[in-house]
Structure 1
Amino acid sequence: MTAIPARELLLDELSKVSRKMRTLFDARVRERGLTLARARTLMRISDGQAVNQKELAEELEIENATLVRLIDGLETQGLIERRAVDTDRRAKQVAMTTAGEAAADLVMEMARGLRRDLLAGIDDADLDVTLDVLRRMAQNIEGSGTA
């Protein structure tokens, strides 16, 4: 039986790991009443600065309508609040509440735990090579003009 070349396997394996990682993290945050999408949103705005909804959608790489649903859910949970933008009454900023800050801290700790679990037994030299390969792949994607 002929071994499948690494160049053919890499993207499939990368996709599998990414999917499993998202599924695992989603399961962990669901235990705390969140979803992966809500957790990602909290992590992004956890720096304490209010952020414009349009910019947040772009940074999370989601449609504005999807973000509105996420924000609605987080607001219902009391984790974020919408604020009017002084210079544009149609625009809204999203800011953390005190409960949201606590939830974001918990999500960040869960993310650290996930990284610890996923990278257990993998030495730093292997991680350095992997990071280099992934960064070059990202550059190739960006250079193709489709990213």
Structure 2
Amino acid sequence: MIDFQKTLSAGHMTSRAARLFSRVADRRLKLIGMAPGQLPVYYELAKGAQLTQKALAEAAAVEQPTMAATLSRMERDGLLNRAPDLKDKRSSLFSLTPAALGNAALVRQIIDDGNNAALAGFSDAEQAALLDMLNRIIANLDGSNSPDTALPPK
């Protein structure tokens, strides 16, 4: 039998925190027709950009099929405009609709409220240290330092 202590696992604790952040945001984002999984797209396009599916998938660090489904849902829900990419006839450019852009302050408030709730009681130095450590974890796992995910042979 394996004695697994979840609270000593960085992976487990990070995953649990991410799910809780998502749950908190989900309730409020639903009120404006959004979901937490759409936030990476929203963040990129709220800058006023027009981006391809490929660029959005890279920015969100998700696979192309996942991004295609996200973009389809956002377009269906009136959050995105799709226009032909004049530089590449096979691609489309996505941008936020005026209605979606109009919710930018509310989206920002929802995210800020979630962060403030999660970090209540943390000093500014602790918050900065946490963000620094999370960025280092992401860099470690996003690059060549990441362990091979294949299981060893039995």
| TM-score normalized with structure 1 length | 0.81
**Kindly tell me: are residues 20 and 143 of structure 1, through their superposed partners in 2, closer, same or farther at Cα, counting changes over 3 Å?**
same
Task: Classify the secondary structure of the residue corresponding to 1:93.
Answer: strand
- The offset of 1:123, in angstroms, is 0.8
| TM-score normalized with structure 2 length | 0.78
Task: Classify the secondary structure of the residue corresponding to 1:17.
Answer: helix
Structure 2: 5+ residue runs without aligned partners? 149-154
Residue 25 of structure 2 contacts residue 36 of structure 2 at CA under 8 Å; is this kept in 1? yes
Identity within the alignment, %: 24
- Name 2:145's counterpart in structure 1: 144
Task: Classify the secondary structure of the residue corresponding to 1:49.
Answer: coil
Give the strand-richer structure, 1 or 2: 1
Alignment pair present for 1:124 and 2:100: no
Q: Could you tell me which amino acid in structure 2 is paired with residue 133 of structure 1?
A: M
Task: Classify the secondary structure of the residue corresponding to 2:131.
Answer: helix
- The offset of 1:66, in angstroms, is 2.1
- The offset of 1:82, in angstroms, is 0.7
Report the Cα distance in structure 1 between the residues aligned to 2:147 and 2:82, rounded to whole angstroms.
33
**Kindly tell me: are residues 96 and 140 of structure 1, through their superposed partners in 2, closer, same or farther at Cα, counting changes over 3 Å?**
closer
> Aligned residue pairs: how many?
144
Residue 140 of structure 2 contacts residue 146 of structure 2 at CA under 8 Å; is this kept in 1? no
- Name 2:152's counterpart in structure 1: none
- The offset of 1:117, in angstroms, is 1.6
Report the Cα distance in structure 1 between the residues aligned to 2:83 and 2:91, rounded to whole angstroms.
9
